[in-house]
Amino acid sequence: MASLIRKATQLQEKKREAAKLRRKGELEFKKAKSLTNRSISGLVSLQRKIESSKEELEDVSGVLTQRLAQQESIQRLVAAAEEHLRREKEAKVQTEQELEFAESEEEKSQAKARLQIISDRINEFIEEINQRNKTFKKISQSIEDYKKSSSKLSGKIQKQTHSKPTLQNLIKTSKKATVRIAKQVSRQTKQEESAKQNLSKISKKLSELAAKRRKITAQKKKSKRKSKTTKTKSKAKIKRKSKTTKTKSKAKIKRKSKTTKLKSKAKIKRKSKTTKLKSKAKIKRKSKVRKGKSKTAKTKSKAKIKRKSKLRKRK
């Protein structure tokens, strides 16, 4: 019994330790699995981000190329407009000189008309150059923004690309750890189950032994109670007997005293009666004896006479 209890205690301790290690292993397994999943998810997300950033960079590069082309085009247009403006200004100077040196009214009016046309063209070219310069500034600012965005995206892609191998290594490591921890958990679970089964068997044996012991104890208690009850009953019986005996003896003594008194009274009565009767009977007997004696004497005398007569006859 003691060895079984000791073994059960050892198995319980073993079971607790195995369960503790199993829970710890399961927690580590969950962490490793979670890390693997997070790493895979992170890698997928990173790949998507890289692709998205590349697409965005392509878009930005395309727009930047367009803006640069627009800038070059505006520069050419501005240069052409400035050339035209220079020529028109020269023409204006020449026309003004012609107007100054014109002799007739007709030459003056023609010079004035040409001068007006040249002035209008100069104003148009100045307006065009101003508009082109404004557009050039806007496009230049846009080009600067797109260049910054392109540089930022390129740096982001480079950074994300550098992060990719780290995540891949992390996935490999976490997968290996998951497999290793899974094996440990499986082994610890088996140990726990084995300890559990052995403990169940020992517990069953202990319960059976305990049941037998309880049965024996109950039987002993029952026998003790029985003997105690018997003793109590015998004591009670003795008490009752003694009480009854005392009561009976008291009653007997009372009855005896009563009977004695009655007997003495009856005896006295009987004695007086007997005395009277005896005296009467004595008197009667005496009279009878006297009569009998007389009869006997007569009979004897008769018998004697007969014997004597017989003897005589024989002789």
* Alpha helix stretches (DSSP H) within the chain: 2-101, 105-314
* 141's tokens: 């600012």
**pLDDT in the model for residue 203:** 74
Longest CA–CA span in the chain (Å) reads 268
Give domain status of residue 20, yes or no.
yes
By residue range, what is the domain housing residue 207? Answer: 2-215
Give domain status of residue 247, yes or no.
no
Q: How many domains does the chain have?
A: 1
Kindly report the CATH number assigned to the domain that includes residue 192.
1.10.287.2610
Give domain status of residue 193, yes or no.
yes
Give domain status of residue 198, yes or no.
yes
Give domain status of residue 24, yes or no.
yes
Rounded CA-CA distance 73/34 in Å is: 57
Q: Which parts of the chain register pLDDT below 70?
A: 1-5, 7-8, 11-12, 15, 206, 231, 233-236, 241-253, 256-261, 263-264, 266-267, 271-272, 274, 279, 286-298, 300-301, 313-315
Give domain status of residue 257, yes or no.
no
Rounded CA-CA distance 100/111 in Å is: 9
**pLDDT in the model for residue 131:** 92
| Contact (Cβ atoms closer than 8 angstroms) between residue 140 and residue 71 | yes
Give domain status of residue 286, yes or no.
no
**pLDDT in the model for residue 297:** 63
**pLDDT in the model for residue 97:** 84
**pLDDT in the model for residue 293:** 60
**pLDDT in the model for residue 130:** 92
Rounded CA-CA distance 285/288 in Å is: 5
Would you say the pTM of this structure is higher than 0.75? no
Give domain status of residue 294, yes or no.
no
**pLDDT in the model for residue 36:** 79
